[in-house]
Amino acid sequence: MIRAVKGTRDLLPPDTAVWNRVERIAREVFRAYNYHEIRTPILEETQLFARGVGAETDIVSKEMYTFDDHGTSLTLRPENTASVIRAYIEHRLDQRPGVQKLYYIGPMFRRERPQKGRYRQFFQIGAEAIGADSPFVDAEVIEMVTEMLTRAGLTGFTLLINSVGCPDCRPKFVAKLKEALLPVAPSLCTDCQRRAETNPLRVLDCKVPEDQPAIDQLPSILDSLCENCAPHFAAVKGYLNDRSIAFEVKPRLVRGLDYYMRTTFEVTHGNLGSQNSVLGGGRYDGLAESLGSNVHSPGIGFSIGEDRLVMTVDQTHDDALDVFLAPLGDAALRHAGELARELRRAGASVEVLAGGKLKRAMELANKLGARFVVILGDDEIAKGEYSLKDMKSGEQQSVTREQLLQRLQ
Ligand SMILES: [Zn+2]
Ligand SMILES: [Zn+2]
């Protein structure tokens, strides 16, 4: 038997109904905030991610699906921000009026160590607002994600925010951090010992419990923000307060990707254990230039881990079957085909039993979760009335075609 590739999975009904509900809600919220969909290819040139995500990141150095395509190195996208910015530059979207607000829903690929709730093909719902550096936009993006999670039915989540500074103030903080790490690094985990040298910011990210007391003593980036970054962060917090959006400032919140600057944010949810981040995002004002844009195009975006979100929300769905037609005999089957067409055009979901006995038909209708069963025999058709059974109440009555259509409204 051939199975799905390790780390990938099939999404089957009825689970797919929950995925569709989450995506429908996401699209409604995107529309309310005037975001429009962008669909970029799943394949990109490898250099896009090397430049856009950062060659030293775990994603690019260890986790990408990269292959040679007749001399060109191609990669299955590990995330979508770099692709959206590439498309923005390629199609000169900076020439279009206003802030470009783009969203996407789709699969990403990373060769991660398989673990519960982590997949090598995983899905993200994300968005980018490109062309504005105002903290008002940051607050609006953050408001939008909390709205989306709330409407999807996620309760009890925590919004964490931080500022990671800019190319002016961050290097000074990193130097301070490096100095503070000198005496403590040898007692930290091996990853932190390495990061203390190569990328001290990443030490703040460490999840090893024994390291936490020492990490808590390290300097906070919020004390090093420059005269541009500090008021930007204060404004974001002010706009969130205006809208009564609860948040926690978490100075240790630094994101794994190199291009983030100023605002970063994350949403965590208790039900997900140690892998408890549902969503991450932040501002990336220099990314477009680093990908070759000659126009300054500051941006901010986020991506929701859809696999985790779907796992966390209510699993009920609304894909129930409205009508099950049970024709008795060949003439009734032909009649049922025509009736089904009319009901479907009126918006009902309809299943026709193409053969079998009445008793079996009722059993099957029950298993399929049908709301109504319509029994059609020669007598019923001759009279122009059908026998309609409400599967919830068990009540059975005779209805005309018009009455049937009304009942289904
Ligand atoms: Zn700064
Ligand atoms: Zn550590």
15-169+225-312: what fold?
BirA Bifunctional Protein; domain 2 (3.30.930)
Domains of the chain, by residue range, sit at 15-169+225-312, 323-407
**Confidence category of residue 59, pLDDT binned at 50, 70, 90:** confident
Q: Given the DSSP bridges, would you call strands 372-376 and 385-390 parallel, antiparallel or unpaired?
A: antiparallel
pLDDT recorded at residue 258: 65
pLDDT in tens, 388-402: 999 999 999 999 999
Mean pLDDT, residues 300-308: 95
- Does residue 274 surpass a pLDDT of 70? no
pLDDT recorded at residue 256: 60
> Is 64 exposed, middle or buried (CB count within 10 Å of its CB: 0-12, 13-18, 19+)?
buried
pLDDT in tens, 64-93: 999 999 999 999 999 999 999 999 999 999
- Tokens 């024994």 sit on residue: 210
- d(CA 203, ligand 2 centre) in Å: 6
Nearby residues for ligand 2 (ion, Cβ within 5 Å)? 188-189, 192, 206, 208, 211
pLDDT recorded at residue 257: 64
**Confidence category of residue 115, pLDDT binned at 50, 70, 90:** confident
pLDDT recorded at residue 122: 96
SS3 402: helix
- Does residue 272 surpass a pLDDT of 80? no
Mean pLDDT, residues 118-140: 96
User: Minimum-distance ligand to the CA of 222?
Assistant: 1
Mean pLDDT, residues 245-256: 88
pLDDT in tens, 323-376: 999 999 899 999 999 999 999 999 999 999 987 788 888 999 999 999 999 999
- Does residue 275 surpass a pLDDT of 60? no
What architecture is the 323-407 domain classified under in CATH?
Answer: 3-Layer(aba) Sandwich (3.40)
User: Among the residues of 40-169, which ranges form H helices?
Assistant: 46-49, 58, 81-90, 135-151
- Enter the tokens of residue 35: 């975001």
pLDDT recorded at residue 117: 73
Q: Which of 42-51, 63-72, 114-123, 158-167 has the lowest mean pLDDT?
A: 114-123
pLDDT recorded at residue 271: 57
- d(CA 264, ligand 1 centre) in Å: 13
- d(CA 212, ligand 2 centre) in Å: 8
pLDDT recorded at residue 198: 84
Which amino acid is present at 291? L
pLDDT recorded at residue 202: 85
Mean pLDDT, residues 141-166: 95
User: Minimum-distance ligand to the CA of 213?
Assistant: 2
User: Minimum-distance ligand to the CA of 192?
Assistant: 2
- What are the Cα distances from residue 343, in Å, to 328, 406, 407? 19, 10, 11
- d(CA 93, ligand 1 centre) in Å: 27
Q: Which DSSP letter does residue 189 get?
A: -
Average pLDDT, the chain: 92
- d(CA 56, ligand 2 centre) in Å: 18
Burial 219-242 (b: 16+ CB within 10 A, else e): eebbebbbeebbebbebbbebbee
pLDDT recorded at residue 344: 96
- d(CA 9, ligand 1 centre) in Å: 43
Query: How many whole angstroms from its chain centre is CA 324?
Result: 35
- Does residue 180 surpass a pLDDT of 90? yes
pLDDT in tens, 187-239: 999 989 988 888 888 899 888 889 999 998 999 999 999 999 999 999 999 99
